[in-house]
């Protein structure tokens, strides 16, 4: 956890600096309350607490022996492979929906994710995908009148 906290703390310190430096671009036009004040306040608070996290995590990391805390990339890939695939499929789903329409994209998306969550029988996964996709389309398109994208041949 100390290694993760160090990374998180460092990332948040960088973010706070980006927030602070970004305020230089804001024009100081408003009389009593400059648009820079609040973002700078937020940046300072974020920097302060992130620094506390770093100050706590780094010495503990050093005590552990920094050399032994190297990242095992192979283990990391194995552990997060499924999640990476799911996120990638979700991105693809969002972009495919505009092209192939909501129903087809959703049927495929649900069927694939059903398999990822442990369903081994492919026909069952396909059936769940079809039922889910059509039901959601019917509910949101017909009942809630949401203009979900349709498959357009032309």
Site for another protein, rule CB under 8 A = 1, 4-5, 8, 12, 15-16, 19, 22, 26-27, 29-35, 37-39, 42-43, 45-46, 49-50, 52-53, 56, 79, 82-83, 86-87, 90-91, 93-95, 97-98, 102, 106, 109-110, 113-119, 125, 128, 132-133, 136, 140, 144, 146-148
Residues 6+ apart with CB under 8 A from 71: none
Instruction: Tell the smallest beta-carbon distance from residue 41 to another protein (Å).
Output: 9
Instruction: Tell the smallest beta-carbon distance from residue 68 to another protein (Å).
Output: 20
Instruction: Tell the smallest beta-carbon distance from residue 121 to another protein (Å).
Output: 10
* Distance (Å, whole) CA 139 – CA 48: 48
Q: How many residues does the chain have?
A: 154
Do the beta carbons of residue 133 and residue 150 sit within 8 Å?
no
Return the number of the residue (66 or 99) whose C-beta is nearest another protein. 99
Instruction: Tell the smallest beta-carbon distance from residue 140 to another protein (Å).
Output: 5
* Distance (Å, whole) CA 101 – CA 150: 4
Do the beta carbons of residue 77 and residue 127 sit within 8 Å?
no
């Amino acid at each position: 956890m100390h290694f993760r906290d160090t990374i998180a703390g460092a990332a948040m310190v960088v973010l706070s600096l980006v927030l602070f430096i970004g305020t230089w671009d804001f024009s100081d036009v408003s009389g009593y309350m400059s648009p820079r004040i609040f973002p700078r306040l937020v940046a300072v608070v974020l920097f302060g607490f992130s620094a506390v996290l770093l100050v706590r995590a780094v010495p503990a990391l050093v005590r552990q022996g920094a050399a032994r805390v190297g990242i095992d990339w192979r283990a990391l890939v194995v552990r997060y492979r499924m999640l990476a695939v799911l996120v990638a499929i979700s991105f693809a789903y969002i972009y495919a929906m505009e092209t192939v329409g909501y129903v087809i994209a959703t049927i495929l998306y649900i069927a694939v994710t059903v398999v990822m969550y442990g369903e081994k029988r492919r026909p069952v996964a396909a059936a769940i995908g079809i039922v889910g996709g059509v039901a959601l389309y019917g509910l949101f398109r017909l009942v809630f009148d949401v203009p979900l994208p349709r498959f357009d041949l032309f």
